[in-house]
Amino acid sequence: MLLADLAATSATVAATRSRKAKVAALAACLETAEDAELEVVTSYLGGALRQRRTGLGWRSLTDLPPPAQDASLTVLEVHRAFDAIASLAGPGSQGARAAAVRELFGRATAAEQQWLRGVVTGEVRQGALDSLVQEAIALAADVPVVAVRRAAMFAGSTVAVARLAFDGTDALGAVGLVVGRPVLPMLASSAGSLAEALAKLGGTAVVDTKLDGVRIQVHRRDDDVVIATRTLEDITARLPEVVDVVRRLPASSVVLDGEAMTVGPDGRPRPFQETASRTATRGASAVHVAPYFFDLLHLDGRDLHDLPLADRLAALDALVPAAHRVERLVTDDVAAADDFASRVVDAGHEGVVVKGLDVPWEAGRRGNGWIKVKPVHTLDLVVLAVEWGSGRRKGWLSNIHLGARDPETGDVVMLGKTFKGMSDRMLAWQTERFTELATVPDPRADWVVPVQPTQVVEIAFDGVQRSTTYPGGVALRFARVVRYRDDKTAAEADTIDAVRALLP
């Protein structure tokens, strides 16, 4: 298949808003793919390279050669080119990488260059990602989507099952959990309160402690252990303590789901930054990370993932010592659940995850089987500047810079940005408002538009963390706009001290 064909379907997909039309276009493309290129085509249609890392980003693509007149690149040639680029390392590799990029892009037409740039930066923006590709595979291979999704969950990716889908539903059905091969993680949706979460599940539910660490999936067969993150990155070598814990379990093969976290000598969880830093470093480290499990998918040759949660938890409890399990409450009572959640938060944890007792373990979507509930903080902050948006927010002032009042100096101290929580109406309002408040003669001239620090905005966020980026030494986690507060002046905004007081 020519890259040009792929770029053309991407353009077709981007041109329509109808999902069905997108799926149809993707399926038509998949049908024309040769067997040998099916995996690459599948990956490319989903807007992703097959290489996890290439060393390329937006910066490496700043000066590209002029496009070719005629389309000649094949999909497989492109794949091999990225393989070569990805394997480059060591002194001089950046130069070699740049040369390889020039070579590849020089052979691409203008349309192909645009598509290539998109995959490299992960911004194809055709309105279709993995999920629609799964539907397209189902359509092209004439198999049920659920079969494709299920196989992809066990195989760890859609790409891995694309070819199998064309062998039929039975072939997909034969894909199962293999100890040692990470599966796509089950994700949680969220709710604003325990009452809401329990109501959604109806009846008795499990209320699990939600730890502020890194999600881990651990596979063990005899002494072989594999630890994978949420995106299935293998971090086994970085967490020897976790390997030890799992090797000591009285079983020959297990697949566990849990969270890795560091705990202080006082028994309280350390800030997320510490466990994240530890799990990211490859060498030795003084920081100790321990696993806390909340699910068991496989035990000694028996798959448990299809069993109700209640059964999986019984098996978990029998296998894993309490010290390496997440604390939980099983209840149908909102007051009891609320009480448990506040104790959990007081103990320094992030919140809770409410789970249906009869729900099987199922990856691939954020269903209502697991619902997270986290406390939300709120502050009234001052807008210091705004950035022009891109994509669907082009032409709107979008990302706002936030600051808190410093009563000592009278200044407003910046502590982060946010673009979340804004409706289109709010976006329209704020581009008008901040254009008026701009302190530069032509607000359209620059990406960042400074404004008079007078507009107060109510911001919701999950927590506060230490920062080396921002002058106040603190930054907000997951800040989002609740509403603009025209009833408050900047002098009434919250202070930087109030923010620092929230530091864990």
Q: Residues 15, 31, 32, 52: which binds DNA (CB under 7 A)?
A: 52
Burial readout 49-74 (b: 16 or more C-beta within 10 A, e: otherwise): bbeeebebeeebbeebeeebeebebb
Contact flags string 218-257 toward DNA, x per CB under 7 A: -----------xxx-x-x----------------------
Question: CA quadruple 334, 339, 343, 346: dihedral positive or negative?
Answer: positive
Among 399, 430, 431, 455, binds DNA (CB under 7 A): 399
In the complex, least distance from residue 324 CB atom to DNA, rounded to whole angstroms: 17
Local structure of 79: helix, strand or coil: helix
Span 147-176, contacts to DNA by CB under 7 A: none
Binding test (CB under 7 A) with DNA, winner from 12, 60, 114, 253? 60
Torsion over CA: 278, 279, 283, 284 (sign): positive
* Region 12-41 residues binding DNA, contact defined as CB under 7 A: 17-21
409 lines the binding site for DNA (CB under 7 A): no
DSSP letter (8 states) at residue 263: B
Cα 139 from Cα 131, distance rounded (Å): 13
Residue 95 or 321: the one with the smaller Cβ distance to DNA is 95
Distance, CA of 443 to CA of 239 (rounded, Å): 49
The answer to whether 206 touches 354, Cβ cutoff 8 Å, is: yes
Contact indicator for 148, 20 with CB cutoff of 8 Å: no
Residue ranges in 122-158 assigned as alpha helix (H): 130-141, 145-155
Q: Does 265 contact DNA by CB under 7 A?
A: no
Centroid of chain to Cα 415? 23
What is residue 329's three-state secondary structure? Answer: strand
Q: From the list 15, 58, 436, 486, which residue makes contact with DNA (rule: CB under 7 A)?
A: 58
Residue closer to DNA by CB (options 83, 170) is: 83
Total residues interacting with DNA, rule: CB under 7 A: 92
**Using the rule CB under 7 A, is 130 a contact of DNA?**
yes
Closest CA to 121 of 63, 42, 49, 45: 49
Residue 67 is a binding residue for DNA (CB under 7 A): no
Report the residue from 155, 198, 214, 326 that binds DNA according to the rule CB under 7 A.
Answer: 214
Per rule CB under 7 A, is residue 102 in the interface with DNA? no
Counting contacts by CB under 7 A, is residue 374 touching DNA? yes
For this structure, is 200 an active site residue? no
State the Cα–Cα distance between residues 307 and 391, nearest whole angstrom.
43
Which is nearer to DNA, 221 or 365 (by Cβ)? 365
Return the range that interacts with DNA (CB under 7 A); candidates 63-71, 186-194, 314-322, 328-336: 186-194
Residue 386, SS3?
A: strand
Give me the DSSP letters along 342-355: HHHHHTT--EEEEE
Q: How far is the CB of 63 from DNA (least distance, A)?
A: 12
The tokens of 194 are what?
A: 């325990």
Q: Which two structure tokens, joined as six digits, stand for 40?
A: 């690459």
Closer CB to DNA, 130 or 208, in the complex: 130
Q: Which is nearer to DNA, 124 or 197 (CB)?
A: 124
Catalytic residue among 22, 210, 372, 374: 210
Residue closer to DNA, measured from CB, 64 or 336: 64
What does the DSSP 8-state code read for residue 306? T
Interaction residues for DNA, span 459-498 (CB under 7 A): 460, 462, 465-470, 475-478, 480
* Binding span for DNA by CB under 7 A among 33-41, 126-134, 162-170, 242-250: 126-134
Residues 410-449 that bind DNA (CB under 7 A): 416-425
Contact flag: residue 280 with DNA (CB under 7 A)? yes
- The reply on whether position 378 binds DNA by CB under 7 A is no
Work out whether 312 is an interface residue with DNA (CB under 7 A).
no
**Range in contact with DNA (rule: CB under 7 A) among 67-75, 281-289, 320-328, 430-438:** 281-289
Q: Taking CA 433 as the corner, what is the angle to CA 398 and CA 447, rounded to the nearest 5 degrees?
A: 40
Alpha helix stretches (DSSP H) within 16-129: 19-31, 38-45, 75-87, 93-106, 110-121
Active site positions, annotated: 210
